[in-house]
Amino acid sequence: MKKTKISLAIVFSILCTLFFGCTSNKKSSDTVDVSFVPGGSTLFIYMCGSNLESQKGLAGSNIDELLAASVSDDLNIIIQTGGANKWLSHGIDAEKTQRYVIKNGKLGLAMSLDNANMGEADTLTDFLKWGQENYSSDRNILVMWDHGGGSAKGICFDENYSFDALTLPEMKKAFEDADITKKFDIVGFDACLMASIEVAAVMSDYADYMVASEEIEPSGGWDYKVFAESINNNTTTVDIGKAICDSFIKKCNGKKNDVYSTLSVLNLSKVDPMLDRFAYAAKNLNRIAGNKNYFSQVLIAAKQSEKFGVENVFEGSSNMVDFIGFNDLVKLDELFAWNAKQEFIEYLVKNDNRDNSGVSFFYPINAGEDEIREYISLGICEEYNNFLSTYYLNVPEKTICFSDKGSIGEDGSFSIALTKGSHKYLAEAGYYLVNIDAAGIPHILCSDTDIISDWDNLSFKSKFTGVCPRLNGHSFYRKMHVDREMVLDYEIPAIVNGKNTFIRYYVHKGNYYLAGTCDGYNEDHLPVNSFVTLKSGDKIQLAEEITLSGGTPAIQYGEEFALEYDNKNENDNECITDAPLNGSSYQYVFVVTDIFGNTYFSDTATFEKHGDDFKAVKTEKTIYQYELP
């Protein structure tokens, strides 16, 4: 079987830290009648705990919510557990694949099996068959619980099997082999990045509605108490979907980690018309892309559309882009958005700062050939597969070429230009700001994409002013996490209360907002999707710079300080403020990244201070191989 991991280009090698304590170690199960209650409804949960459970106990916390729910007598709640090398509550055995029944607020063990790979199609097939034979009701709902990696990477990354995952082809096979005789009323993905047209296409034969998120889900996931209580004879299927969405946003708001929160209810009976519109749009996409003068429109659309998950040079990309936003920007199909909003997207909740539509699709912003071929094997849309095969497979050895590797403008700016042939493969253009010390050691002060970009002509220009943000007056190294056009999302390597993590902040309409801390990615390249709100008094050491002594990158942290911040006041933006840099001379180098994660460096410009401004005074060949930890 294909072994699949969430693949990322280069990751900060800071170990995952724990922000949630373990829940109480309850006994494995109570004495519960695990027999089927006919009629009514059944909620099936395929709970692959992975490191979300073994490190944070998040699966156990959702089980606690189910146990606290006041549900109707004819609701069966069935959970299959597995995929974690340790369960932190309820005495669940990590060496077994177990099936539980929740009844009358108690958790009862119905079956204990040999440990099976939750990222394998046969394991899901076996659960679906068993559930259908023993617990199928008038209304059936299935939830897939774990990490999600989007259309090309799948879901349910089993920690006991090298984080092997269920890819979409494997998930499709699992449902086919289970011989589902009655569609699920809802299939839900309590996981990141799964609200895509590709996932909907795979699930349309097996469910009426789908609930999923385009974006990374904050830790804690759905509110299972509200979810379970919404399943009764007085609610429609759409009502249940709306309850899941509304309670999810409310839960995220309560934890102050709603910056990226969004959830959609998709009507799977409308998938075929949507795929027809997809094929029509993809046909126009091929036509536009065939004209080199217009391919930049496609590139611009991919850059300006809402993008989800990771999106930067160092960690790669989830390659999930808002479907309707992309279509509207390229103007592929005027009826596409209307059909989607009127019929396909039944319900959508999101943070006010987001402009997502509710459904995404795979676009190779930063993808390897294997990932693209895996996607093509899904067979979702032949026209789109033709586009991917033509422009993103069998690529030349050198994908990015400079027509101008660096020149100084009359206004003292620094600019570069790329050849027209680079347009097919360009993923990102940004810069490093560097200070070279007397010993010749580079000190990288920031990595950013805040530049002036002319995508039509593939030319890029600096906007360096000598001003950088500071947190409570402390300087820091910042790295662009996601450039969402209207919202710039940054992260700072930091030590918070003695633990390594990242501080995330974003810029919207010129204002700074602290999102909290996020653990980023662990040593297995899996996202640790937990935002923790910062508060006044937190002890913080910020990364001030990255040094390259002998070519080896190292993070240099500043002195510890106590944070001053009112996390209850959404308008408290004063903890991050702009301040002038202290030096009088800095080096500036453009960094261009192709869709496969390869980086290309421009010449280096030296900026010197002239009065209140910084101007480029000379350029020279870049001699350093900049690599970040």
- What does the pLDDT read at residue 174? 98
Does residue 440 sit in the same domain as residue 423? yes
Q: Is the pLDDT of residue 84 over 80?
A: yes
- How many domains does the chain fold into? 2
- DSSP code for 330: H
Cα separation, 223 vs 228, whole angstroms? 9
pLDDT at 7: 37
User: Distance between CA atoms of 480 and 168, rounded to whole angstroms?
Assistant: 30
Residue 480's pLDDT band, with cuts at 50, 70 and 90, is confident
In a shared domain, residues 436 and 337:
no
Say what the pLDDT of residue 166 is.
Answer: 96
In 3D space, the residue among 427, 414, 482 whose CA is nearest the CA of residue 593 turns out to be 427
Rounded Cα distance between 206 and 180, Å, is 7
Residue 2: which pLDDT band, with cuts at 50, 70 and 90? very low
- Taking Cα atoms as reference points, which of 213, 196, 367, 166 lies closest to residue 268? 196
- CA nearest to 538, candidates 495, 493, 574: 495
User: Is position 9 within any domain?
Assistant: no
Predicted confidence at residue 629, as pLDDT, reads 53
Residue 312 domain flag: yes
SS3 readout for 216-258: CCCCCCCCHHHHHHCCCCCCCHHHHHHHHHHHHHHHHHHCCCC
Question: Which residue, 101, 103, 83, 105, is CA-closest to 93?
Answer: 83
The percentage of the chain sitting over the pLDDT mark of 70, rounded to a whole number, equals: 86
Tell me, yes or no, whether 330 lies in a domain: yes
Residue 433 identity: L
Q: Is the model's pLDDT at 198 over the cut of 50? A: yes
Q: Is the pLDDT of residue 203 over 50?
A: yes
- Tell me: the pLDDT tens digits for 405-457? 999 999 999 999 999 888 878 878 999 999 988 888 899 999 998 899 998 88
Does residue 355 have a pLDDT over 90? no
Same domain, 307 and 415: no
Residues 408 and 460 in one domain: yes
Residue 205 has what pLDDT? 96
Say yes or no to pLDDT of 627 above 90.
no
Question: How high is the pLDDT of residue 30?
Answer: 64
The mean per-residue pLDDT over the stretch 545-549 comes to 88
In this structure, is residue 384 part of a structural domain?
yes
User: Which of 385, 400, 314 has the alpha carbon at shortest distance from 151?
Assistant: 385
From the CB of residue 91, how many other CB atoms can be counted at a distance below 10 Å?
A: 12
Question: Does residue 434 lie within any of the structural domains?
Answer: yes
Query: Do 457 and 362 belong together in one domain?
Result: no
Overall pTM > 0.85: no
Query: What confidence tens digit (pLDDT) does each residue in 236-275 have?
Result: 999 999 999 999 999 988 766 566 789 999 999 999 989 9
Using an 8 Å Cβ cutoff, are 7 and 104 in contact? Answer: no
Q: Is residue 429 part of a domain?
A: yes
Q: Kindly state the average pLDDT of the residues 345-360.
A: 89
Strand order in the sheet with 576-580: 474-475, 467-471, 576-580
Q: Are residues 411 and 313 in the same domain?
A: no
First to last CA, the chain: 32
User: Are 376 and 412 found together in one domain?
Assistant: no
Examine the domain organization and report whether 376 and 422 are in the same domain: no
Say if residue 412 is in the same domain as residue 328: no
State the pLDDT at residue 14.
22
Q: Are residues 304 and 434 in the same domain?
A: no
Confidence of residue 353 (pLDDT cuts 50, 70, 90): confident
Q: Give per-residue pLDDT as tens, 105-128.
A: 999 999 999 999 999 999 999 999
Are 281 and 375 found together in one domain? Answer: yes
Q: What is the mean pLDDT of residues 157-169?
A: 95
- Among 11, 12, 45, 266, residue whose Cα is nearest residue 156: 45
Assign 485 a pLDDT band (cuts: 50, 70, 90). Answer: low
Indicate which CATH number applies to the domain containing 405.
Answer: 2.60.40
Segment 325-344, tens digit of pLDDT: 888 877 777 766 676 777 89
Question: Can you give the pLDDT at residue 525?
Answer: 42
Mean pLDDT of 50-65: 95
Same domain, residue pair 599 and 461? yes
Residue 206: both structure tokens together: 């097996």
| 18 against 470, higher pLDDT | 470
Residue 232, domain member (yes or no): no
Instruction: List the one residue out of 278, 296, 289, 257 whose CA is nearest residue 514.
Output: 257
Cα–Cα dist 196/151, whole Å: 7
Whole-number average pLDDT of the chain: 86
pLDDT at residue 38 greater than cutoff 80: yes
- Say whether pLDDT at 324 is over 60: yes
Partners of 142 in beta bridges? 44, 187
Are 287 and 330 spatial neighbours (Cβ–Cβ below 8 Å)? no
> What phi, psi does 379 have (nearest 5°)?
70, 35
Query: Domain range spanning residue 379?
Result: 273-341+358-392
- Position 348 pLDDT exceeds 90: yes
| Parallel/antiparallel/unpaired status of strands 613-620 and 599-610 | antiparallel
Pairing outcome for strands 478-483 and 442-448: parallel
Phi, psi at 190, each rounded to 5°: -85, 75
pLDDT average, residue stretch 312-321: 63
In a domain, 482, yes or no: no
Task: Note the pLDDT tens digit of each residue in 377-389.
Answer: 989 999 999 999 9
pLDDT at 175: 98
- What DSSP element (H or E) covers 122? helix 121-135
Rounded mean pLDDT, 473-484: 82
What span, in angstroms and rounded, lies between the C-alpha atoms of 112 and 26? 18
Pick 281 or 200 by higher pLDDT: 200
